[in-house]
A and B are shown apart, each in its own frame.
Chain A
């Protein structure tokens, strides 16, 4: 399987703290994307990083990509209770997207 792996599987933090989740993959990629899924809903795109980029920012989100280690990380700074959701990485290869197993984030108010 070309699916990615994410860790941790679950993360529980206090509001205001930072949350970091990691994604690893096995194949070469064109780009890597991060998605968020609220309970009972579909996935929503957060941020995309191309294979020739090392870091990207969007608001409170920071994504890094290390293609030599085939890994990426998503940092959410100053977390809020509304950030509680599952987060998935997805990488693109030949018309197909492969998703990681997800990190379930719980932000306690």
Chain B
């Protein structure tokens, strides 16, 4: 019940295209859903996060779509660039513990 399932495992997108990564969860107590970007040998960096009271959040080229009834959320990267090539992790947590449960990660490659 604590798992967060992420797909696809890897993704190849052409420059300028849209990258879409999906996550699903079971625990309805989760109330915070961040996305992190990680480059090789570096720590994760927060990209964008959402709470269950909104269905979409956009920051620049990054958009989170959230479907509370389906217990799913997704990251959309618009106008994908080669510099976006990295591993992306979704995560979820509950406010009372603050513990992040991470998805399995998606390796994104954006081809020039």
Co-assembled chains A and B: no
